[in-house]
Amino acid sequence: MSNEKRRHNALPDGYKLHWYEIHAILGRGGFGITYLALDTNLNHEVAIKEFLPTDLAMRATDSSIHPISDDHTDTFGWGLNRFITEAQTLAQFRHPNIVLVHSVFEANGTAYMVMEYEKGESLDEAYKLHRLTTEEDLLGLLFPLMNGLQRIHETGFVHRDIKPKNIYLRDDGRPVLLDFGSARQALGVETRTLTTLVSPGYAPFEQYNATRESDKQGPWTDIYALGATIYRGMSGKSPVDALARANAKLEGTQDILEPAVELGKNKFSVQFLEAIDLALRFAPEERPQSIDEWRALLPEWEDTGSGVAPGGATVHGPRPGRIDHEAPTQVSADTTPIDHFTNEGTLIVGGHGSISGKGTASKSSTKSVVIILVAVVAVIGTAIGAWRMQTATTAAPEEESKAPAAAQTAKSSAPPAAAGAGQTPAIPKPSVNEVTAFLSTMPCSVLQASINDSTLAVRGFAAGSKVVERIESSLSHVAGITEVRNEIQELPRSFCQTVELYGPYWQANRDSGFGTAIGTPKADNSFVAGERLVLNISTPTYKSSVYVDYLDHEGNVVHMMPSPGEEFNLGEARESFQLGEAGDVGLWEVAPPFGTDMVVVLATSVPLFEGARGQVEQANDYRAALAKRLKTLQSEHANAKISADFVIIKTKPGS
């Protein structure tokens, strides 16, 4: 990296951009330079992309960037704005298969996009080493990437530059999409240097034929490129360039792209090969029009926790015994999410950020923690009973046909049926960004929103009826929304610190489809004195240590699992069981004081504590200890998975 020719026109080693220190060049092209840098604030490496289109601008001796002439000033400024807008859009995504964008800022007359620095290798390198060549390998690669793309498409955004070199395989095998090409393509259209900015073999013909006024690209464009990427792994060679295919069609010859069904015959399933060929259809309207539509054509695949992309799979259909059927989308297990979008157009909003530094509150009072288990439950018997984990059956096929959903998506997303129609794909009216901005301002809350046509549903937890009413009232004014479905559960303000601590893991759980869930057999989660408290628990998609804690409204926590009477708390992936079920040696019984309380389940791929912590302790003390352990776990185990769910319990005296 010290080669002077290599560093021509680039920032030098050691250069300071705010608190980032440039260390090396990761890549460069006609659009910009990507650097490896050190974030000196947080002491970790990041990747920084600098906007530097060499056809339009150059670097001065003071490191600033300037257009090469006055004639290029407007175009450079237009491209710079597109670059910043792209970064701002990408920063909204928190997904394990989309590169994480931390921030964007302007300096030196240009802009810089700060991204997560991913360690591993490119898919292109893996293909050259003849790895990931079986159908299971390729499906394990394809499904997580489709999930990431679906998240992107739901915001009206298109990647535009999917190819093996822009897909990175982390050290644990998970694929991640890098280097979005939207701003770069837009600038190429403007300067008419488009042919140098598309990727031959992976770019469909509509990318060569785009203009600033007429852009017929959409989800079908990315589907072509991703299909071509899988074609490369399946066949060992890149697809024929779309321009060559177009020329052959003009000459009246048949399509010169060799079909996947012929190249992969007897090695791959016919369903798999036909789905690839459909994605590579020359005409945009002949391809699947959405990720959902394409996914329905592929063989089903389910992440088993091994191989490519752990945690990045789409689970097909609910599992028997699973409590929360509304959960499931994806999020990175390696980062603490703030706000992001689900695979169904769902917006996850937290605004709580990192948990580091929390949980330092002092003891709330001198009130004895040996208070007859006043967490509204009392232990009957000296031992907390044995519990049984009943393995849930494997995921069933989707209970509803995917075809209608795919057809619906196609109606809203399809490009013009014939060339020259002059129509661009319709962008959904409801503004997800507007919903994001508003929900992120809600205090003491963890919320999830989804938009289906003109109906906006908001679910999760928020403190106080006034906050809930404000959410419902304000969101009814979002453009394109005709109905707001309020599915928010009210929280007492005494649980704000608990929501703040567990909220990011609740979001990660729902966005990643981990399936960690807690509930009760009662529809209203209401219990009376003397009644047994029974909890339904579902473990996540990974082997985990399971922690179940009852937090009462008086500031105490009862550790239900593990507990001094039963310290075992290890669960296999995707299991369901009841805590406090009939037949257990020890049962939980509702006792005063009565009120509204919360029960939390936390599942971690790495144990947090050795054994049980005792039966009861003050919630402030436990939150502080838990926050510290979670922070340590995440720093020592970069790929650790953490997920949480909670249920609100109401107790009252018997009649």
Q: What is the pLDDT of residues 577-597, one digit of tens each?
A: 888 865 454 467 888 888 999
pLDDT for 75 equals 84
pLDDT for 161 equals 86
DSSP H stretches of helix in 395-476: 402-413, 432-439, 465-475
Does residue 102 contact residue 116 with C-beta atoms inside 8 Å?
Answer: yes
SS3 621: helix
Position 433 pLDDT exceeds 80: no
Q: What is the DSSP letter of 196?
A: G
Confidence band of 220 (pLDDT split at 50, 70, 90)? very high
pLDDT for 79 equals 86
Confidence band of 199 (pLDDT split at 50, 70, 90)? confident
Most confident of 20-34, 228-242, 334-348: 228-242
Position 332 pLDDT exceeds 50: no
Rounded Cα distance, 448 and 344, in Å: 11
Position 398 pLDDT exceeds 70: no
Confidence band of 429 (pLDDT split at 50, 70, 90)? low
Domains and CATH numbers, the chain: 1-117 (3.30.200.20), 121-316 (1.10.510.10), 356-393+497-652 (no CATH)
521: preceding bond cis by omega (within 30 degrees): no
pLDDT for 401 equals 38
Position 169 pLDDT exceeds 80: yes
Query: Is pLDDT larger for residue 3 or for residue 544?
Result: 544
Structure tokens at 209: 């034929």
Compute the mean pLDDT over every residue in the chain, rounded to the nearest whole number: 75
pLDDT for 431 equals 64
Indicate if the alpha-carbon torsion angle 511, 513, 519, 524 is positive or negative: positive
Region for residue 355 given its phi and psi (left: phi exceeds 0; alpha: psi -120 to 50; beta: otherwise) = alpha
Position 473 pLDDT exceeds 60: yes
Rounded Cα distance, 622 and 557, in Å: 8
Which region among 364-378, 492-506, 631-645 has the lowest average model confidence (pLDDT)? Answer: 364-378
Rounded Cα distance, 180 and 219, in Å: 14
Query: Is pLDDT larger for residue 144 or for residue 329?
Result: 144
Structure tokens at 434: 């507007």
Which region among 10-19, 160-169, 192-201, 257-266 has the lowest average model confidence (pLDDT)? Answer: 192-201
pLDDT for 121 equals 87
Q: For residue 214, how far is the Cα from the chain centroid?
A: 31
Position 191 pLDDT exceeds 80: no
Q: What is the pLDDT of residues 53-110, one digit of tens each?
A: 887 888 998 999 999 888 888 888 888 888 888 888 888 788 889 888 999 999 999 9
Rounded Cα distance, 69 and 585, in Å: 82
User: Integer distance in angstroms from the first to the last C-alpha of the chain?
Assistant: 78
Residue 593, C-beta contacts closer than 8 angstroms, at least 6 positions apart? 374, 376, 552, 553, 554
DSSP H stretches of helix in 440-582: 465-475, 496-512
Position 598 pLDDT exceeds 50: yes
Position 643 pLDDT exceeds 90: yes
Across 539-566, average pLDDT? 89
Give the CA count within 13 Å in the CB-facing half-sphere of 371.
18
Which region among 235-244, 415-424, 444-453 has the lowest average model confidence (pLDDT)? Answer: 415-424
Rounded Cα distance, 576 and 619, in Å: 27
> What percent of the chain is predicted at pLDDT more than 90?
31
Confidence band of 451 (pLDDT split at 50, 70, 90)? confident
pTM for this model (two decimals):
0.47
Which region among 167-181, 266-280, 492-506 has the lowest average model confidence (pLDDT)? Answer: 167-181
Which region among 99-113, 219-233, 390-404, 508-522 has the lowest average model confidence (pLDDT)? Answer: 390-404
Across 526-554, average pLDDT? 91
pLDDT for 214 equals 45
Most confident of 452-456, 572-576, 622-626: 622-626
Confidence band of 215 (pLDDT split at 50, 70, 90)? low
Query: Is pLDDT larger for residue 393 or for residue 439?
Result: 439
Q: Closest Cα partner for 589 from 420, 417, 373, 401?
A: 373
Q: Closest Cα partner for 333 from 173, 508, 169?
A: 508
Rounded Cα distance, 18 and 111, in Å: 12
Position 356 pLDDT exceeds 70: no
> What percent of the chain is predicted at pLDDT more than 70?
73
Q: What is the DSSP letter of 563?
A: B
Which residues, listed in sequence order, are joined to residue 517 by a DSSP beta bridge? 538
Q: What is the 3-state secondary structure (H, E, C) of 284-323?
A: HHHCCCCHHHHHHHCCCCCCCCCCCCCCCCCCCCCCCCCC
Which region among 246-250, 322-326, 469-473 has the lowest average model confidence (pLDDT)? Answer: 322-326
Rounded Cα distance, 90 and 82, in Å: 12
Residue-wise over 489-516: b if at least 16 C-beta within 10 A, else e?
eebeebbebbbbbbbbbbbbbbbbbbbb
Q: What is the pLDDT of residues 281-314, one digit of tens each?
A: 999 999 999 999 999 999 988 765 433 433 332 2
Which region among 9-23, 168-182, 278-292 has the lowest average model confidence (pLDDT)? Answer: 168-182
Across 624-646, average pLDDT? 91
Structure tokens at 264: 């992969």
